[in-house]
Amino acid sequence: MIRSLLFAAVFAALSCWLPPAGDAAESPSATLPRAKIPVILDTDIGDDIDDTWALALLLKSPELDIKLVVSDRGDTVYRAKIIAKLLEIAGRSDIPVGIGVNEGGNAGPQAPWVADYDLASYPGTVHPDGVAALIETIMTAPQPITLICIGPVPNIRAALERQPKIANRARFIGMHGSVRKGYDGGPEPSKEWNVVADAKAAQAAFTAAWPMLITPLDTCGIVRLRGDKYQRVAECSDPLTKAVIENYRIWSKAGDKPLNASSVLFDTVAIYLAFSTDLVTIERLPLRVTDDGFTRIDPQGKPIDCAMSWKDLAAFEDFLVARLTGGR
Ligand SMILES: [Ca+2]
């Protein structure tokens, strides 16, 4: 009873949690080391390449304590192979991998990178039922878990059906939707892929009891590294960063052709939001996921914190480069 009351108090505090502005040196509590934030990543890595960049950013973010990475949507075994191989390269096979709901279908454009990779060779734990692992991790955690979702969310729909109480023990951070702007900063909202690919699952996630913070296309849809910023990442010798670029070259079918920019790095913004909102403007908006995959502002919708614009996009790009190249 006492434990559950304590948990409720911690969760209530976290529900309205936003990191303080400024760095630790300016904080009166600067002498106290900040506890790492426990996170689960749910990802459709293996379709668009931005998940690969996002997982690398996650692994290079000391603010976050990764409890589990779960593959979501379509061929989740193919996706779990990419996760496991990247974790091995990063020297982080202590992190469990979960295979999400397997909907079948074809492997994606990074298949050549994992053609010879055997999941059974992963030195750490691979959970064949990734949804069960996700539920177990959230329900047994001593403090609320931050669930970062960067793809369509059939796993999350399944998890909420199996154990609705997860919504009282986690907060949801997602790369989802399109509120006022569409792809590439377009003036009209789009049917954003992570929502429209499984609108029923998005509706489940967007009506659950957890607090939500999302980066819709309004902010994540315009993040791209170009010129010197891209080159610094492309020329970095760090093994994980090299693997990101190797995957990017396979994904883009570049062959020997030089690349001078990244594709849009949507999902990296959701990783950033798990520990900071300093560089974006947050608006709390009532959102409803429509059956045809839009995220509409609707007074009847769930109030959701949305990163609606950048205070300093160049600073975010610099932050991404610094993290991926090992600097600060
Ligand atoms: Ca994704």
In a domain, 231, yes or no: yes
pLDDT band at 30 (very low <50, low <70, confident <90, very high): low
Tens-place pLDDT, residues 94-112: 999 999 999 999 999 999 9
Number of domains in the chain: 1
CATH number, domain at 191? 3.90.245.10
Mean of pLDDT values over 179-197: 97
Closest to 217 measured CA to CA, from 171, 255, 270: 270
Q: Could you list the residue range(s) of the whole structural domain that residue 303 is in?
A: 36-324
- In the reported structure, the alpha carbon of residue 199 is separated from the centroid of ligand 1 by a whole-number distance in angstroms of 15
DSSP 8-class letter at 200: H
- In the reported structure, the alpha carbon of residue 175 is separated from the centroid of ligand 1 by a whole-number distance in angstroms of 8
In a domain, 27, yes or no: no
Q: Which residues of 181-190 are buried (b: 16+ CB within 10 A; e: fewer)?
A: bbbeeeeebb
Distances (CA, A) of 286 to 13, 48, 98, 206, 297: 21, 28, 32, 10, 6
In the structure, ligand 1 is a single-atom ion and the residues with CB under 5 Å from it are 44, 51, 150-151, 267
- In the reported structure, the alpha carbon of residue 151 is separated from the centroid of ligand 1 by a whole-number distance in angstroms of 4
- In the reported structure, the alpha carbon of residue 25 is separated from the centroid of ligand 1 by a whole-number distance in angstroms of 34
In a domain, 133, yes or no: yes
What local confidence, expressed as pLDDT, does residue 221 receive? 98
pLDDT band at 31 (very low <50, low <70, confident <90, very high): low
Q: What are the tokens at 313? A: 């996009």
In a domain, 184, yes or no: yes
pLDDT surpassing 80 at residue 265: yes
CA dist 151 and 42 (Å) reads 7
Say how far residue 223 (Cα) sits from the centre of its chain: 15
- In the reported structure, the alpha carbon of residue 55 is separated from the centroid of ligand 1 by a whole-number distance in angstroms of 10
In a domain, 315, yes or no: yes
In a domain, 198, yes or no: yes
Q: For residues 44 and 74, is the Cβ–Cβ distance under 8 A?
A: yes
In a domain, 13, yes or no: no
pLDDT surpassing 90 at residue 12: no
Give pTM, 2 decimals.
0.91
- In the reported structure, the alpha carbon of residue 8 is separated from the centroid of ligand 1 by a whole-number distance in angstroms of 31
φ, ψ dihedrals at 288, nearest 5°: -130, 135
- In the reported structure, the alpha carbon of residue 49 is separated from the centroid of ligand 1 by a whole-number distance in angstroms of 8
- In the reported structure, the alpha carbon of residue 176 is separated from the centroid of ligand 1 by a whole-number distance in angstroms of 9
- In the reported structure, the alpha carbon of residue 316 is separated from the centroid of ligand 1 by a whole-number distance in angstroms of 19
- In the reported structure, the alpha carbon of residue 3 is separated from the centroid of ligand 1 by a whole-number distance in angstroms of 36
Residues 6+ apart with CB under 8 A from 192: 176, 177, 178, 216, 217, 293, 295
CA dist 170 and 283 (Å) reads 21
Mean of pLDDT values over 264-279: 98
In a domain, 17, yes or no: no
- In the reported structure, the alpha carbon of residue 297 is separated from the centroid of ligand 1 by a whole-number distance in angstroms of 23
